[in-house]
Chains A and B, each alone.
Chain A
């Protein structure tokens, strides 16, 4: 079975903090994605990676960065958290155009 895990289900941070969200997949997939999901806006792509150390900006990269040092791990970094980054963050790993999502991290920035 395909398995994608995310480091936290719920996270509360303060404005200005640096936040790390981690995603791990055990399927040796090359492509991994970070989305945020907000009511009425659907899933919006933040960053994606198609190989180790490779990354591409999605549609809303501002305020975020990513790291992919190992194939199985894709990290999303909020450099200085702001209240408008309060959201559900979903990581996905892709095989043959099928996206396998992690359970999500609900982040609240106070």
Chain B
């Protein structure tokens, strides 16, 4: 079983819709959770981090964490074609050692 699982997609949504990306993780001791965006041919960049249960909003992005169910999600409101990318979920199992596990990513296509 992988530490972090994501649906590889592609997930296709029309422009202006809400895109919902999901991620599950296996280790209940996981402390910190991250969403990275990776455009084709580029390296990943951090867009959201979340540490406690509930929702965290930043502009059009909302991260949701449910530790009891061991999932974390990313909602993108008013999706734009420029949001088309692969979204990577990452989990830090141990804050002291900063050892991160990444999912394989979900490819999002936002159609104009």
Q: Among residues 64 to 112 in chain B, which have CB atoms less than 8 Å away from a CB atom of chain A?
A: 88, 90, 92, 95, 97-105
What are some 13 contacts across the A-B interface (CB < 8 A)?
A: A40-B8, A40-B104, A42-B4, A42-B103, A43-B102, A48-B99, A97-B32, A97-B98, A98-B49, A99-B100, A101-B44, A101-B45, A103-B42
**B: number of interface residues (CB 8 Å):** 24
Contact with A along B40-58 (1 / 0, CB 8 A): 0011111001000000000
B8 engages A97 (CB within 8 Å): no
Decide if B95 touches A97 in the complex (CB within 8 Å): yes
Quick one: which of B42, B45, B98, B104 contacts A94, CB cutoff 8 A?
B98
Contact A97 B104, beta carbon cutoff 8 Å: no
Question: Residues of A with Cβ closer than 8 Å to B?
Answer: 31, 33, 35, 40-45, 48, 50, 56, 58, 90, 94, 97-99, 101-104
Question: Which of chain A's residues have a CB closer than 8 A to the CB of B34?
Answer: 97, 99
Interface of A: prevailing SS: strand
A98 B46 Cβ-Cβ under 8 A: yes
